[in-house]
Structure 1
């Protein structure tokens, strides 16, 4: 009798990153949310509903900032990492985002980066050719 042994890989399979090009107009946040929702259902099926909603809110905030404050199109890239999920928005500005005092009376914003931070994502920015990439990294998603 012959016995075969199957060895499991030390690292589980992670799906390929998903990049979604987005227009530089008000349609971008909703397109980004739809793309992110599909990715999450495919790659993170056990994600709790509140975590799913948190990720979609962060996607919306980062893409809204890219459309509002940068010229040109942007792109959303979602990557499942060994420890969680990386939400990355690339845009055509080299200016690093900075939190500002929210305008609660005039409606001009200022809440986006505060929301991302409050939801527990680690935010960092990296320069890329022709602009920057803003990341919101979730661990243990």
Structure 2
């Protein structure tokens, strides 16, 4: 597969080849407008990956605001940071090796996906205020529009969807 041209992010719905062919025949703006903005990166599974993933998501959202004039509130940015932090923490804690973080703005929804190498699906524990730890997925579930986990040929993928539309107070 050919690499994605500089400045163009391929969504999982579009291959790098699709993007390369379209950029050869269309101005960059037309290609970018027809795509869901997407970015992905990988981490080695070390504890530093958690903070790095938070900064990655903040940078992605800031870039959307700057380049696409997307309206992303500080609340959505904070929620996205917390969700990616919890998901990457679980990946680093329970899965040996690397993890991958993908973020995509699909219309009014920000999708945060974390892949890791462990095939066991996460289990959300019942709320227990006295329990120390084990509240990460409970938090994620409370903050997102939807949450799903599925096994992959290697490991699993966990996806959380967050509305970027402003909420009424």
CA displacement at 1:82 relative to structure 2: 2.7
Could you state the TM-score of these two structures normalised by the residue count of structure 2?
Answer: 0.69
Aligned with 1:66 (options 66, 74, 91): 91
Confirm whether residue 20 of structure 1 aligns to residue 31 of structure 2: no
Q: Which has the higher helix share?
A: 2
Runs of 4 or more consecutive aligned structure 1 residues displaced over 6 Å after TM superposition: none
SS in 1 for 2:85: helix
**Which 5+ residue runs of structure 2 have no aligned equivalent?**
1-29
Aligned with 2:74 (options 41, 44, 49): 49
Paired position in structure 2 for 1:122: 146
Confirm whether residue 92 of structure 1 aligns to residue 113 of structure 2: no
Paired position in structure 2 for 1:3: none
SS in 1 for 2:156: strand
Paired position in structure 1 for 2:4: none
Check the 8 A contact 1:24/1:67 in 2, yes or no: yes
d(CA) in 2 for partners of 1:24 and 1:36? 17
Paired position in structure 2 for 1:112: 136
Aligned with 1:132 (options 136, 149, 156): 156
**Which 5+ residue runs of structure 1 have no aligned equivalent?**
1-8
**CA distance 1:19–1:88, change in 2 (3 Å):** same
Q: Over the residues paired in the alignment, what is the CA RMSD in angstroms?
A: 2.2
